[in-house]
Structure 1
Amino acid sequence: MNNSKTSRTRWTAPRIAVVVLILAAALSWSGYRLSVKFGGSVSTQGNEIGGSYRLVALGEGNVTEGDFRGSWVMVWFFDTHCPKTLCGPVLKSMSDAKKALASEGIKTAPLAITLDPLHDESEELKKYALTLGDHVVPLTGSPSMIEQVAKEFHAPNELVKGDDGTSYHVPAPRIVIMDPQGRYAGTIESTAGTEALVTGIHQFAHRG
């Protein structure tokens, strides 16, 4: 009897180990597939504002916060139904700030993230953003990822109606600035203009 019990014990342990490995592999694969389909989870990485993300750069595929390391990153949220008189100047000031700082050898990445990924088709988003700010990088993503990223960057999630009756998301009142190491540096009012953006990034750089 003891030999029988010992034999069963010897066989049971390997079987359990195999089952555990199979389950682990299945869970890992499922997690990978969900990540590919819906984007990875957002992590604050210790930042008061901002964090990690995976979004879609139009025509260039997925990008993460790591793709912008080495640059001062300007992050702003809007959607393409926003009146151009309201959102246009912000996109232009971000684009012009990039050009001005580039002339000084300072690398920047002005990111314009849509708050309405279900309705902002790629071509529409590209046409809207790049027409108003040709150096801006328009970004979109899955609805769940956009929602998480907006929360991490403290962007509003509120719909309003314009004068023509069209609803649009309230654009972020501030542009979030992340330093070249991916850390939160500060914010600048979205309506402040090009000069304020350039000055603000200079100040953040000297403070660091």
Structure 2
Amino acid sequence: MNRHAMTYLNRRTASIALALALGLSLSACQQQEPAERPPLEGAAIGGPFTLVDKNDKTVTWDQFKGKWRMVYFGYTFCPDACPMDVQAMMRGFNLFDEAHPAEAAEVQPIFISIDPARDTPEIVGQWTSAFGPRLLGLTGTPEQVKTAADAFVAYYQKGTDTPGGYLMDHSRIVYLMDPNGKPIAMLPVDKGPEAVSAELAKWVK
């Protein structure tokens, strides 16, 4: 074999080797990373409840089937924590709505009172309206509220008496539930609206 033929053969071999290497690299790049599992996947959170809205109309958990849900338990006489949490929750939702309106249309934000003695349907409706028309406020009898809170493992009890009225001790969690009512994640309201929006965009598809 002459020198020119040998040079051609070497170049040809090198080209084939390079093509094979590139093919293997592309194949490796195309292998997708395993999808991240929802942090609350499989947790015993969420379940049937019957409450009422601002118009004293009965609302059940099953009515939201097919919708993503953001669920927060609090009370309207709360001096600081609840307003801050719900504000971050709804501002985050609004940011998500601006960026992903079609997906946001499938999400229902819900506020459930854990202070039924004072939080009448009218009061809950007035309070939630301050955070936007998309936030649904719910309340009910003490027994109904307990059923809902127990289903979501939400802690609450009557706390300190103050000149302005008693306070309520309660957990501060915004649950993200999928369209089948299964728990997905806790929305990071403590990190601000942008973090809430990012977490919604991560899961709500």
> When the two structures are superposed, what TM-score results if normalisation uses the length of structure 2?
0.68
The Cα shift of 1:133 comes to: 4.3
Question: What is the total number of aligned residue pairs between the two structures?
Answer: 160
**Which residue identity lines up with residue 129 of structure 1 in the other structure?**
T
Task: Tell me what 1:91 maps to.
Answer: 86
Q: Which moved more, 1:158-167 or 1:60-69?
A: 158-167
Partners of 1:94 and 1:190 lie apart in 2 by 6
**Which residue identity lines up with residue 77 of structure 1 in the other structure?**
F
Confirm whether residue 169 of structure 1 aligns to residue 165 of structure 2. Answer: no
Task: Tell me what 1:24 maps to.
Answer: none
Partners of 1:91 and 1:134 lie apart in 2 by 13
Confirm whether residue 123 of structure 1 aligns to residue 122 of structure 2. Answer: yes
Distance 1:65 1:159, change over 3 A: same
After TM superposition, list the pairs within 5 Å mapping 1:186-201 onto structure 2: 186-201=185-200
Where does structure 2 lack aligned partners over 5 or more consecutive residues? 1-41
Where does structure 1 lack aligned partners over 5 or more consecutive residues? 1-45
Partners of 1:191 and 1:164 lie apart in 2 by 28
Distance 1:55 1:171, change over 3 A: same
Report sequence identity in percent. 26
In the TM superposition, what whole-angstrom CA distance separates every residue of 1:37-64 from its partner, at most 9, and x where no partner exists? xxxxxxxxx8611112121121261122
Partners of 2:173 and 2:110 lie apart in 1 by 13
**Which residue identity lines up with residue 155 of structure 2 in the other structure?**
P
After TM superposition, list the pairs within 5 Å mapping 1:1-208 onto structure 2: 48-59=44-55, 61-83=57-79, 85-103=80-98, 104=100, 105-106=102-103, 107-161=106-160, 164=163, 166-205=165-204
The Cα shift of 1:190 comes to: 4.1
Partner of 1:109, secondary structure, is strand
State the superposition RMSD in angstroms. 2.3
Partners of 1:163 and 1:142 lie apart in 2 by 24
* Higher Rg: 2
Partner of 1:116, secondary structure, is coil
Partner of 1:67, secondary structure, is helix
Partners of 1:157 and 1:89 lie apart in 2 by 18
2:56–2:121 Cα contact (<8 Å) kept: no
Distance 1:171 1:134, change over 3 A: farther
In the TM superposition, what whole-angstrom CA distance separates every residue of 1:102-148 from its partner, at most 9, and x where no partner exists? 33111211110000112212222222222244431110122111101
2:52–2:121 Cα contact (<8 Å) kept: no
> Could you say which structure has the greater relative contact order, defined with CA pairs below 8 angstroms and 6 or more residues apart?
2
Distance 1:117 1:185, change over 3 A: same
**Which residue identity lines up with residue 183 of structure 1 in the other structure?**
K
